[in-house]
Amino acid sequence: MKNSRNGKTENYRLNKFIAQSGLCSRRKADELIESGCVKVNGKIAEGLGMLVSPKDKITVNGTEIKRVQYTYVKYYKPAGYITTMDDEKGRKTIYDILPEELKKLKPAGRLDKDSTGLIILTDDGDLIYKLTHPSIKIPKVYRVAAQGKMNLEHLKQMADGIEIEKGKIAYADAMIVEYDGKDTVLQITLYQGLNRQIRKMLDFLGHPVISLKRVSHGTVNIQGMKKGQFKYIKTRELKELLNQLAKAEKLAEQEK
């Protein structure tokens, strides 16, 4: 792939190139490489760490593959819509209001009907997997208004863990941003993705959510955006996110 700014050709790890062709997962690509099914320019691939470019001819079991060009979008979800492609209950979904050009993309995680804020939309299944897998701890930051005045003891309980369902312990890093009259504005960071996690934690503490907005997912944020707006994620933003994911993956491997 040519970089329009400097004319250089980008190189990719072979397993990533195969996965981004849409043929299979990266793990399956590793198996294909190790079994000798993959050739680069007519020669059996040298190993898992081999670097290739779109100029190289890559074949798997004799069939040539090409790297797919993916689309990456950040979307500021408004309240009143659920984050799914269709709903059997007939509720409104973000796909009822998304532009036609985005309706082929899938969300990396969800926001409930009443919540607003950032959703990353893409057709890159590998990225969605990494952004949502529980072992790869990518931070999601929320701005939350909660009923009543919370204190440091409440924040400690959230950090130590709250059982929101039988056998499910939810954790959150929280800080008090300000008091708004009788209520509390919080910044909450999650590394989990449990259903309605923040709402259930604050319900347990006796401080129900008034409003909840996701402001960032990893290094991507909605700064300067309006509700219902979308923007294509720039190359620089994507590289920052991928670098963060690579570090989180490495840490997850070390913790196994």
Active-site annotation holds for 112: yes
- The helix/strand/coil state of 51 is strand
DSSP-H helix ranges across the chain: 14-19, 26-34, 125-132, 152-160, 197-204, 235-254
Name the active-site residue from 56, 86, 87, 112. Answer: 112
CA 248 to chain centre: 12
Terminal-to-terminal C-alpha distance of the chain: 35
Q: Which amino acid is at 70?
A: Y
How many CA atoms lie less than 13 Å away from 82 in the CB half-sphere? 11
Length of the chain, in residues: 256
Measured distance CA(151)–CA(188) in Å, rounded: 14
Question: Catalytic amino acids?
Answer: 112
